[in-house]
Structure 1
Amino acid sequence: MTSAAAAGSTADIWTEMERAFADPECQTYRLPAGMPLRAMRCARPDGTVSRAGFFQSAPLWLAHEPQGWLGAQDVPGPEGRDHPLRAPKPEGLVYERHDPVARLTVSFRSVDIGRDLDRFFHWQNDPRVAFFWEENKPRDELRAYLEGRAADPHCLPLIGCFDGDEAGYFEAYWAREDRLGPYYDSQPWDRGWHGLIGEYRHLGRRKTAAWLRGLSHYLFLDCPMTTQLVGEPRFDNAKLLAYADALAYEKLKEFDFPHKRSALMRCRRSEFFGRVL
């Protein structure tokens, strides 16, 4: 157990806990005497903070307020899959964290079409990316694609960065409203994602694991009601599927979309915070 010697500001304590929990052997942190427990929302009655509680609660990495409950009634969804009213999508930087395992900073920001269209065009027209995404199209069509994603309330298009350098494109989505929704027992707060690394210099096991950790962490932080993440990569995407167990994702089944055969993947909140961070 790690403890602080003296009480400091709340921000100082969060930072101190982050340093302590960078050691994977550290499972519990004792708050300094006199620290009001209500100031640390993950504190237990005995004045301690668990590792899992810290990584689900610390306001160090999320750059906007978490999604909250916006209304008592659901709103109509596709094919009868009604869902909660979603908050407006965040803009700009949404998440940033130094990954001590990969020894780099992972961040995500919302897509800015004027800024990002050229790199998105370049990435999608790389044969390596096009094999899985099948979006190797002209620039104007890809602009329309991004505009559609930006206007869609169930989808959040993101640019992922390593140490501030743009590396890839990601889409976070609410699974109940997505094309994936009819293929499993989708719950109101389930979240999913698609992702690609467009820059060859950012490929490799270390960085792939880093963005998988970072994106999963962001989606769980973004909405406390989200208890599971899901995904539907192509069933033959062996490189991506090889990371599943280490990142607390499990394969539930294979199924067929009209355009591809996919693997249904799931990551439970309890497993992620118990095994990964």
Structure 2
Amino acid sequence: DNIKWLDYPRKHMLVLSMFGWFFPVVTLIPAQIIGRIFVNNHLGYRVIRFSFVTLILSILIYHFFKGNEQGLGVFQPSELAKFLLIVVGALTGMHLSELRIYDAEHLYKNPIKMIWPFIYTFIFVTSLAFFVFLSVKDMSPIVISCLFLICCIWKIAPNPDKTKSRLFEWICHGGIFVFCILVMTLIIYIYHVPESLPKSIPQKDRILVWANPALYPHSGEQVIKSMTIAGLGRWFGATGSWFGNNHAAMTVPMIQNDFVGAFIIYRWGGLFATLLLVIQIVYIVSFFKTH
């Protein structure tokens, strides 16, 4: 019923806020303790990672049998899955970085052993993300995981000993650059020629709705409304005040969760949204620093 749907966003936002406050608490833990538990202690690293993965799979399986379109209880499993995917990915990145730093000479004497952590990371992270992608019909987990994986490989590819061969580094960095160009080209191509997308692609409708929202009455309606509301915001926002009632932005179903961009542009305007986008890009680029 409508009352239940109106109450759902409030509960969902509460759970998301609780996830967000988890990070400030983690920052209070000394780095030495985190290093001993998650990096230097290989058993602790494996136990924590296994626990997180088990929790992700358990939640998704339970949602499959007991959940509904609103999620599981007061939150959507995809949100917790994305949160844990980031944590697991970060642990994997820390582990590989430490392995490369402290065992670099041995790894370069055994190239096969050096390449294996990259292969293992790729299989592990992408498989887990793809499982989430298929289970909860949410594309963001696989996007988050692929983005993190690219950053992780970029950071751990350089040879710690700069006097030795850097061929592996050049191959990894060049491959990432080519991969990004291909993905961008594919996105542009699908946008202009949506009928070329094979029927076997999972969640094809969710992808095509952005290319031609008019063809999809339900999802497409939300996209069109969000674009209309974003247009009302112009450069400086459509409301007289940045605080208080959210006005027309709340007329789009679930816009505060699924169409945050439209909400921001309507409330604060395109200028603020552009500034926020620049900050996010700078933040992502910082992940690619190798020193």
User: What is the TM-score normalised by the length of structure 2?
Assistant: 0.24
User: What is the TM-score normalised by the length of structure 1?
Assistant: 0.25
For the pair shown, the structure with the greater C-alpha radius of gyration is 2
The structure richer in helix per residue is 2
The structure richer in strand per residue is 1
